[in-house]
Amino acid sequence: MAKPHLVEALTMSLAQEWMDRGEAKGLQKGIQQGLQQGEAQILLRQIERKFGPQARMHCQQRVQQADEAQLLQWIDNILTAEHLEDIFQDDSSLQ
């Protein structure tokens, strides 16, 4: 039969391990969200510099709702974009 203090120690050890894993996942998720927000802000800044403040306002919600892969594609697209719509050329839901 297991001794109560050993069972308690094992339970506490497992609980700590699960908490550590959860904190690591939470930290990683927070870092990822921060990077994505930064990419969105960079793209919006580039849009404003290239096409003006109205263009930024027009695209702001769309950019802030995009996932990381889409943001990176749009950041690349702005380098050769002649028109605002060119940034989103690979997006099937053009506005």
Structure token digits, residue 41: 């802000």
pLDDT tens for each residue of 41-71: 999 999 999 999 999 999 999 999 999 999 9
Alpha carbons within 13 angstroms on the beta-carbon side of residue 34 total 6
Question: pLDDT value at position 93?
Answer: 45
Task: Mention every residue, 6+ apart, whose C-beta is less than 8 A from residue 40.
Answer: 63, 64, 66, 71
The reported pTM is 0.69
